[in-house]
Amino acid sequence: MWRIHGVDYDLRGLSRVHPGGSVAIDLVQGMDATDLFEQFHVRNEKHRALLSKYSVTQRAAAPVSAFHDDVKAMVREHFGTTSHKASPAHRWQMVVLCLAYASCWVGWWRGSIFVGGFCLPVVAWLVMTNASHDASHFAFSTTPLLNEAWLLAASPLLYSCASWYVQHCVSHHLHTNDPDNDADLQHHPFAKWHAKVDRRTTPAKNLAWHATAYLVATLNMSLVHPWKFVVVPLAKTILLGHPPFDDQTTKHHEAAFFRAADLVHRSGFFAKRPHRLVFALAAWVASLLFLVTPHLRFDLPRALALSLLPYALTSLVFMLVTQISHRRPASTMRRNPTFGAS
């Protein structure tokens, strides 16, 4: 079952025909899906009429706040009421960008530190922000499976497609800037990212932890997170019949990650769609090969530059974006004085 605004729905039939694909529906099976539903259906009301066909309870939906209605009206005024995917011009830009990306990989394979160590991570970042990220929000293509496949472009240098659903789509976008539930505030768990996060550390140590986070974040998301939050929990469940996580993880310094991952696993997100597990393993293996291959082909200094420098650069950009631009104190959207006036 899925619960949205206090009403229970059986969305198993909808997941097969849902224009956005089955990903979003599968992510929140068995839990309250209100926040995720509102996140993706803000521009018009046609989705609510379709949703009503799958209701299994007779009670009316819980009323939303006036603030919620105000924000929705502001979004519609700013962005319009029609959803859209990548435009033809944007798709052609991605073709050019992917050709540049491919040429960077050739340079990396040949051992060019400039192309493989500097150009490759920059172009990889552009591919991720213009395609993979949008695809994770089902906004790149009208073909759901293509959106899932585009997430693979974020590997091996940015993040694993599997852990990205856990960290970004479920944790960050449902609990933005919540110190207890937003995984983006626990990227490097020993650093204090938010004033309300309890980290007993000195300013000097906190600065040092921040510095390391800005160098290893994407390496962590590409190799450690998918192993810790996807592969190991699935192995425990499938091979041993154990729950994906134990109770101690709620007290862990990465509790937001564990909490979101536990919800995703309990929904059957990976278990019931085998291709997602295949994608996850492929992304993880690609990241592992990226680290190992240069050491099999080149001398140690060049190998270290080609295997670690790209992660350091993508980590730097990623952390600057997530920890600075995502946490601006005020919105730049113009406030319409008529909203909420009564």
**CATH (domain of 41):** 3.10.120.10
For residues 258 and 130, membership in a common domain is answered with yes
For residues 160 and 294, membership in a common domain is answered with yes
Cα distances (Å, whole numbers) of residue 131 to 25, 104, 184: 21, 18, 20
| Percent of the chain whose predicted confidence (pLDDT) is above 70 | 85
pLDDT top residue among 12 and 332? 12
Confidence of residue 266 (pLDDT cuts 50, 70, 90): confident
How many Cα neighbours within 13 Å face the side chain of 27? 26
- The predicted pLDDT at position 138 comes to 80
For residues 106 and 42, membership in a common domain is answered with no
Domain that holds residue 65: 2-79
Confidence of residue 327 (pLDDT cuts 50, 70, 90): low
- The predicted pLDDT at position 333 comes to 39
Helix (H, G, I), strand (E, B) or coil at 146: helix
User: What is the greatest pairwise CA distance in the chain?
Assistant: 72
- The predicted pLDDT at position 248 comes to 55
- Is residue 72's pLDDT more than 90? no
For residues 213 and 169, membership in a common domain is answered with yes
Cα distances (Å, whole numbers) of residue 85 to 101, 126, 130, 151: 22, 18, 12, 16
For residues 151 and 17, membership in a common domain is answered with no
For residues 207 and 105, membership in a common domain is answered with yes
Q: Which of 5-9, 163-167, 196-200, 230-234 has the lowest mean pLDDT?
A: 196-200
* CA separation for the pair 176, 161 (Å, rounded): 20
Please list the residues that pair with 4 across neighbouring strands.
7
For residues 278 and 151, membership in a common domain is answered with yes
For residues 247 and 302, membership in a common domain is answered with yes
Average pLDDT of the segment spanning 170-175: 80
- Is residue 341's pLDDT more than 80? no
Domain stops at, among 79, 102, 130 = 79
Q: Which of 28-32, 133-137, 289-293 has the lowest mean pLDDT?
A: 28-32
Q: Which of 21-25, 51-55, 309-313, 336-340 has the lowest mean pLDDT?
A: 336-340
Indicate whether 337 belongs to any domain: no
- The predicted pLDDT at position 99 comes to 94
- Is residue 342's pLDDT more than 70? no
Stretch (H or E) spanning 274: helix 274-297
- The predicted pLDDT at position 7 comes to 84
For helices 120-127 and 300-323, the axis angle rounded to 10 degrees is 40
Confidence of residue 337 (pLDDT cuts 50, 70, 90): very low
- The predicted pLDDT at position 260 comes to 81
For residues 65 and 152, membership in a common domain is answered with no
Indicate whether 62 belongs to any domain: yes
Indicate whether 115 belongs to any domain: yes
- Is residue 325's pLDDT more than 60? no
**Is-cis flag, bond preceding 179, omega within 30?**
no
Question: Could you tell me the two tokens for 37?
Answer: 């539903």
Query: If you ran DSSP here, which 8-state letter would residue 250 be given?
Result: G
- The predicted pLDDT at position 197 comes to 67
Confidence of residue 110 (pLDDT cuts 50, 70, 90): very high
Cβ-based neighbours of 7, under 8 Å, separated by 6 or more = 55, 57, 59, 60, 61, 62
Confidence of residue 306 (pLDDT cuts 50, 70, 90): very high
Cβ-based neighbours of 319, under 8 Å, separated by 6 or more = 187, 213, 214, 217
Cβ 157 vs Cβ 222: under 8 Å: yes
- The predicted pLDDT at position 184 comes to 77
- The predicted pLDDT at position 251 comes to 58
- Is residue 261's pLDDT more than 50? yes
pTM surpassing 0.85? no
- The predicted pLDDT at position 339 comes to 34
For residues 164 and 304, membership in a common domain is answered with yes
Cα distances (Å, whole numbers) of residue 341 to 66, 72, 181: 10, 15, 33
Indicate whether 333 belongs to any domain: no
Number of domains in the chain: 2
Report the mean per-residue pLDDT for the chain. 79
Domain stops at, among 22, 44, 79 = 79
- Is residue 175's pLDDT more than 70? yes
Domain stops at, among 79, 104, 130 = 79
- Is residue 338's pLDDT more than 50? no
Helix (H, G, I), strand (E, B) or coil at 136: helix
For residues 66 and 184, membership in a common domain is answered with no
For residues 171 and 111, membership in a common domain is answered with yes
